[in-house]
Every structure is written in C-alpha cells, then in structure tokens.
Amino acid sequence: MKVTKYKIDYNSMPYGALAKIPKGTPVTRAHNLPDGGYWVNNWKGMTKAQRSWADNYGYHVTEAEIEEV
C-alpha cells in the first residue's frame, strides 16, 4: 500500500493553505493525469471544507511525496 511519506501542507493558488495532510494517509494512483502522481484518499478528521475540496478537485501529490508500506 502507498501512503504519504510525511505531513503535507497542501496549498493551491490563489486559495492558499487548504489542508495539512497527515503522514501515512493512503493514496491512489492518478491514472487520469498525463503527469501521473497520486490522489490522496480521505483521512480521519477532515473538515467539511477539506472534504468538499477532495470531492471537487482532489489533493494531488507526486511520487516523491509517497512511500510503500
């Protein structure tokens, strides 16, 4: 299983800070993007706003930000 390697402070311009994704959050391969990467799965303790962002846009992370456990 692949998970986030460390806590990620997720930002998006022009919105700024959106979430602090916890270390160890499971991810799913982003097959729908030409550059690949991973989509972060929902995590325990997400706020309503964070869940809304995940549902509408998703939290995208790179290969360098994940690890196999």
Q: What is the pLDDT of residues 26-66, one digit of tens each?
A: 999 999 999 999 999 999 999 999 999 999 999 999 999 99
Tell me what pLDDT residue 34 has: 94
Give CA angle at 41 (32, 51), nearest 5°. Answer: 105
What is residue 64's DSSP assignment?
G
How far, in Å, CA of 62 to CA of 69, rounded?
16
Q: CB–CB of 21/6 below 8 Å? A: no
Q: Radius of gyration of the chain from Cα atoms?
A: 11
Task: Report the pLDDT averaged over residues 3-19.
Answer: 96
Q: Is the pTM of this model over 0.75?
A: yes
Per-residue pLDDT at 24: 98
